[in-house]
Chain A
């Protein structure tokens, strides 16, 4: 039997409200797209560059202790120009959804 796998992710939105969502691991989605598909940030305020690590509108903070703190080169460069960046900042469009993300907790950063 083929079961499509989903992982449980906790997402705190920009108003501080926490949401628990089930994200599919088999649809080639990234975390920014998951946030958009559940409409947890206002349309037009997230994913502006479409997920090319070029806008930082999808910045989030990793709150759980998942091993996610390694940023890519372009991501690092973009975050160096973004505002409100912390140690645990990531661009959510650069995090592909996979099984290792079970019970991940993130917070969406405020808009610039």
Chain B
């Protein structure tokens, strides 16, 4: 069981920055995210694109901003449960919530901060009749553990960056990598497209275009795929150990919608006059996932909301303690790892 002060659901920019603000108040955080990596929409949807409206940054790459946030919160040693979706919440008593993930990991905290953005990213599944029957039985929608493909045969389907990048990556690990795409053109970063071209020429990736997977076969475990050419209608069967369709991920609010929180327009209603608390005391919602009059889904608004939420969480966790705002310039950063960051002291010295 994982125990912490503030349990954050969602490792997007809002959730990450909340760790920093909580750390200044000596509160410990743990973050759950359905994706295998931190960064939320920035890492998943537009890692290579620039952002122009982060105060103080005329321009910053989305992934660069996530990397910077990770660096900034490092002294506060956040815990992470990645690749798992927060599924159920139970109120143990007035000072304790329990959150369990789809993989059964149990977390307990006095305060829960939902920073779930547009929702947890769920794979877009190809429309094949018996597809669900093979999920986790040779069929995967995300690569979480590349080592499991060692010396196995893998078929990847898709035409975007993730299909290209995973084909390249796995061509070094798997016994055989086949890439299937329904068109001849791929869409991705130029170097990825060129790399796949090279690997194909070198015989390390087998390409089927314009082909589509039309059928999955197997008994319990997935055994083979039926491929059909979009040009000639030719069909062929391909034996394989794994099938990884990579058709992108779409965010879905998912289980959080059934937690008894007030929902409006697919977002959680909060009290924006005070602390972004929901209708359940002790549960907050910050960033893209919340709504209130005048709400804007922007990174900088999430940062602000995270900051105010932490103040309120402190008062909830330590009702008997007083708290005054300290500037980081004055107070410095005292990490839970023992690290100290401080402004250099001014000298007091005569000039003669």
Contact = CB atoms under 8 A, between A and B. Distances in A.
B326 interface: no
Interface string B114-143: 000011000010010000000000000000
Contact of A77 (B46, B185, B247, B253): B185
B247 A81 contact: yes
- Specify the main secondary structure of chain B where it touches its partner: loop
Interface string B169-197: 00000000000001101110000000000
A48 B182 contact: no
A43 interface: yes
A26 interface: no
Contacts of B265: 42-44
Most buried by A among B185, B187, B247: B187
A80 B183 contact: yes
A80 B210 CA distance: 11
Interface string A56-78: 01000000000000000010011
B40 interface: no
B218 interface: no
Contacts of B247: 81
B118 A54 contact: no
A45 B251 CA distance: 9
Contacts of B183: 77, 80
Nearest to A39: B265
Nearest to B45: A49
A44 B248 contact: no
- Give the size category of B's interface with A: 20 to 34
B75 interface: no
Interface residues of A, number: 17
B250 A80 contact: no
Contacts, number: 49
B160 A44 contact: no
Contact of B251 (A42, A44, A52, A77): A44
Interface in A65-98: 74, 77-78, 80-81, 83
B248 A80 contact: no
A81 B266 contact: no
A49 B124 CA distance: 14
B187 A77 contact: yes
Contact of B118 (A44, A77, A80, A112): A44
Contacts of B118: 44, 48
Nearest to A54: B45
Contact of A81 (B160, B251, B253): B160
Contacts of A54: 45-46, 248
B267 interface: yes
B300 to A, nearest CB: 16
A36 to B, nearest CB: 11
B160 A112 contact: no
A21 interface: no
Interface of B: 45-46, 49, 118-119, 124, 127, 158-160, 182-183, 185-187, 247-248, 250-251, 253, 265-267
Interface of A: 42-45, 48-49, 52, 54-55, 57, 74, 77-78, 80-81, 83, 112
The 8 closest A-B pairs by CB, nearest first: A44-B266, A77-B187, A43-B265, A80-B183, A43-B266, A112-B124, A81-B247, A44-B118
Given A48-B45, A54-B45, A83-B124, 15 more contacts: A42-B266, A44-B251, A44-B253, A44-B266, A48-B250, A54-B46, A55-B45, A74-B187, A77-B159, A77-B183, A77-B186, A80-B159, A81-B158, A81-B160, A83-B127
